[in-house]
Amino acid sequence: MPRPPIIRKDPGAFVVAPNLPDTDAARAAFSWDSARAGLQGLPGGGLNIAHEAVDRHANGPRANHVALRWLPASGAARDITYAQLSRESNRYANVLRGLGVVKGDAVYVLCGRIPALYAAVLGALKCGAVVSPMFSAFGPEPLKTRVNLGAGKVLVTTEALYARRVRKVEGEMPTLRHVLRVDDPGTRGMLEGAPERFAVERTGAEDPAFLHFTSGTTGMPKGAVHVHGAVAAHYATGRFALDLHPEDVFWCTADPGWITGTSYGIVAPLAHGVTSLVDEAEFDAERWYRNLQEQGVTVWYTAPTAIRLLMKSGAEVARRYRFPQLRFVASVGEPLNPEAVWWGKEALGLPIHDNWWQTETGGIMIANTPAMDVKPGSMGKPLPGIEARIVHRREGGLAFVEAPDTEGELALRAGWPSMFRAYLGQEERYRKCFAEGWYLSGDLVRRDAEGYFWFVGRADDVIKSAGHLIGPFEVESVLMEHPAVAEAGVIGKPDPVVGEVVKAFVSLKAGHQPGEDLRLQLLAHARKRLGAAVAPKEIAFADSLPRTRSGKIMRRLLKARELGLPEGDLSTLEGPA
Ligand code: ATP
Ligand code: MG
């Protein structure tokens, strides 16, 4: 049912003073040079992400602070301090160097969320390698494609993943010189025998550090190259958008196989010297609530897909847990339906703060920060250092949209430190993302009179019906207001009369059955809330919606299946590998 449009923040109610008390004032005063002043730099010059994330703390007063609290899928938690993580990553750096890894070489890491992943990624960065963390559920084919695209030289994996994912295609990855299985006795011996010290490669801000693949929501995943200098943005956004404070226990639920799990599951929290929770296990509602409660999580960064699953699991489960330590919750990856923001307030005691960014942007660009009033459904305002505008692409160049509440493409002034530097192997495509000094995101948004940005839809997903431009998000959010609906995915279906008609696919919460009555109810509810021009004309029930492995609804697949068209690249489709 309709809710109030705004959640006001009470400055007197903050237990910990927010790092960004006034976004507008901070934007005016901000410079990237001032943000870089929060970094240390390599002794003698240069910049390396692993030094900022680990070694500078290991060499200082936070040496014995817990860097990672690892929760194995079963068994007791294990704490790893900054000093230990520094030594462990040095061992990996020495082993990789021993295998011939030098600056610029590509190292792939396919490990699952275990401590070795973190040590290997950081160790490879220390070697000056370009690191590409792979999602552990990828099957052999997607793995092979990615390794070959980036000319991977070493693949770090486990015995189990080697057997399941690598062996079959090992001979088809010609650049690969070594496959290091971290738990085989030979490698274990090598790691134990390796020195605990390592002189970090003198990388600079413009040297490549990571190769991250996009989620494949709209098509074939792209490989985005990021540089060491990006750490300035991870640091600044960790401070502003995630509000990290030294004593925080932070939990980013994303896997490092997606950029969120690296930028905010490895780099940002470690750069701030906080304790970061790593859960090896997959999503489980009880387990996640228990983690939040028992680990005393203070700042939580998760995704709409997880929130929808928690909502689906029901309020009774949430009611068994308490979260007195939790002070800030943020979400990224897909638009966050207003219903989910409100669910946070009810189930966790805090609204969920949506923020927006992409693999290409490397870090959070637009956010609801702790001190800002939240307008549920809005992704917030640009962070300090980020200039965001709304544009229309025209023959002669860009036209900037000034009027509030007008849709257009989200553009960011190029030059923030974590901006991608290439789409690997696709120069032309990279070039086309920029015009007149602006990066064009491919997402449609509008900005209200108070400067809040609202997501409309991906340019590819927007529906044109009888002269209206309809964003699927708006329609999905309204369907989700209905108590029976767990998830909704909306597409445009070609129609000879109106261009496209709106069709919705809906999955239901436990205890609700699909049927003609419910279908009519949903159609009526949507029509009442959206008007006949925007409301779906057709609703189909589905047990679940096709999703990427990072949890995003794949509307292109709903559409392809509806129209009987080829399904396209399915390498990131969720399902058994
Ligand atoms: P591909 O580019 O391969 O199709 P992808 O765009 O899903 O996949 P990512 O870089 O992981 O790959 O996701 C970025 C996109 O996710 C954004 O461009 C946007 O469409 C969507 N997104 C992320 N956060 C938000 C948000 N807070 N609100 C709305 N959309 C979001
Ligand atoms: Mg994309």
Predicted pLDDT at 316: 86
User: What residue's CA is closest to ligand 1, atom 27?
Assistant: 356
> Is 221 near ligand 1, meaning CB less than 6 Å away?
yes
Q: By C-alpha distance, which of 491, 577, 575 is closest to 540?
A: 491
User: What residue's CA is closest to ligand 1, atom 16?
Assistant: 333
> Is 305 near ligand 1, meaning CB less than 6 Å away?
no
How close is the Cα of 261 to the center of ligand 1, in Å? 14
> Is 552 near ligand 1, meaning CB less than 6 Å away?
yes
pLDDT at 247 over 90: yes
Q: What percent of the chain has pLDDT over 90?
A: 92
Split at pLDDT 50, 70, 90, the class of 1 is low
Say if CB 502 and CB 492 are below 8 A apart: yes
From the number of C-beta atoms within 10 Å of its C-beta (0-12, 13-18, 19+), residue 381 rates as: buried
How close is the Cα of 335 to the center of ligand 1, in Å? 9
Predicted pLDDT at 78: 98
> Is 458 near ligand 1, meaning CB less than 6 Å away?
yes
Say if CB 308 and CB 336 are below 8 A apart: no
- Amino acid identity of residue 375, one-letter, is K
> Is 472 near ligand 1, meaning CB less than 6 Å away?
no
- Exposure string over 395-433, b if 16+ CB within 10 A, otherwise e: eeebeebeeeeebbbbbbbeebbbbbebbbeeeeebeeb
Ligand 1: atom nearest CA of 455 is 29
Considering only 56-70, 269-283, 466-480, which range has the smallest mean pLDDT? 466-480
User: Any residues with CB less than 8 A from the CB of 541 and at least 6 apart, and which?
Assistant: 505, 506, 507, 508, 514, 518, 519
> Is 216 near ligand 1, meaning CB less than 6 Å away?
yes
At 141, phi and psi to the nearest 5?
-65, -55
d(CA 364, CA 263): 9
pLDDT in tens, 276-316: 999 999 999 999 999 999 999 999 999 999 999 999 888 88
At 6, phi and psi to the nearest 5?
-145, 145
Ligand 1: atom nearest CA of 218 is 4
pLDDT in tens, 533-550: 899 999 999 999 999 988
How close is the Cα of 88 to the center of ligand 2, in Å? 34
Predicted pLDDT at 469: 87
Average pLDDT over residues 139-156: 95
> Is 351 near ligand 1, meaning CB less than 6 Å away?
no
Split at pLDDT 50, 70, 90, the class of 414 is very high
> Is 359 near ligand 1, meaning CB less than 6 Å away?
yes
From 211, 215, 364, the mutation candidate for ligand 1 (largest count of ligand atoms within 8 A of CB) is 215
Smallest-distance ligand from the CA of 555: 1
From 336, 358, 569, the mutation candidate for ligand 1 (largest count of ligand atoms within 8 A of CB) is 358
Ligand 1: atom nearest CA of 260 is 11
pLDDT in tens, 186-201: 999 999 999 999 999 9
The side-by-side arrangement of strands in the sheet containing 499-508 is 485-495, 499-508, 538-541
pLDDT at 228 over 80: yes
Predicted pLDDT at 577: 56
From 331, 359, 364, 474, the mutation candidate for ligand 1 (largest count of ligand atoms within 8 A of CB) is 359
> Would you give the DSSP letter of residue 568?
-
> Is 379 near ligand 1, meaning CB less than 6 Å away?
yes
Ligand 1: atom nearest CA of 548 is 7
pLDDT in tens, 320-369: 999 999 999 999 999 999 999 999 999 999 999 999 999 999 999 999 99
d(CA 412, CA 567): 32
User: Any residues with CB less than 8 A from the CB of 190 and at least 6 apart, and which?
Assistant: 95, 98
Ligand 2 ion: Cβ-proximal residues, 5 Å cutoff:
214
DSSP string computed for 231-291: HHHHHHHHHHTS---TT-EEEE-S-TTSHHHHIIIIIHHHHTT-EEEEE-S---HHHHHHH
> Is 473 near ligand 1, meaning CB less than 6 Å away?
no
pTM recorded for the entire structure: 0.96
From 217, 418, 423, 559, the mutation candidate for ligand 1 (largest count of ligand atoms within 8 A of CB) is 217
> Is 455 near ligand 1, meaning CB less than 6 Å away?
yes
Mean pLDDT, the chain, rounded, equals 96
> Is 571 near ligand 1, meaning CB less than 6 Å away?
no
- Exposure string over 132-146, b if 16+ CB within 10 A, otherwise e: bbbbbbbebebbbbb
Average pLDDT over residues 464-478: 91
Q: What percent of the chain has pLDDT over 70?
A: 99
> Is 525 near ligand 1, meaning CB less than 6 Å away?
no
